[in-house]
Amino acid sequence: MTDPARELNRLRASIDNLDAVLLHTLAERFKVTEAVGRLKAENDMPPADPAREARQIGRLRQLADESGLDPAFAEKFLNFIVAEVIRHHEQLRGDAVAKRNSETD
């Protein structure tokens, strides 16, 4: 039988690898949502799009189901990410307002 402490280290190394994938993918995802935020701001497009969000949730729930994940978790996960995206967009808007104010002052 394998040594449990050694097996634990082996599994933990996989978790660390997967966490690096998750973090770098999230970093890339925020770069894209930032581009979306800029595009929408520059073209006076509405920031929220409920139909798109509903499609995203449906798609993620299905992907979760196919991957053996709880679809409710997938939805929670998307909400968690979207909350962070909104925080980023608010920061960008705050920066833009500050810039405009400093330009008109």
Rule CB under 8 A: which residues touch a copy of itself? 4, 7-8, 11-12, 14-16, 18-33, 35-36, 39-40, 42-43, 45, 52, 56, 59-60, 63-64, 67-69, 73-74, 77-78, 80, 84
Residue in the structure block whose two tokens are 């581009």? 35
Q: Is the dihedral of CA 12, 16, 17, 22 positive or negative?
A: positive
In the complex with a copy of itself, the residue whose CB is nearer, 59 or 99, is 59
Q: CB of residue 94 vs a copy of itself: minimum separation in angstroms?
A: 15
In the complex with a copy of itself, the residue whose CB is nearer, 84 or 96, is 84
Q: Beta-strand (E) ranges in 17-92?
A: none
> What is the distance between the alpha carbons of residues 56 and 33, in angstroms, rounded to a whole number?
14
Q: CB of residue 96 vs a copy of itself: minimum separation in angstroms?
A: 18
- Residue 3: φ, ψ to 5°: -65, 120
In the complex with a copy of itself, the residue whose CB is nearer, 42 or 101, is 42
- Residue 2: φ, ψ to 5°: -70, 150
Q: CB of residue 15 vs a copy of itself: minimum separation in angstroms?
A: 5
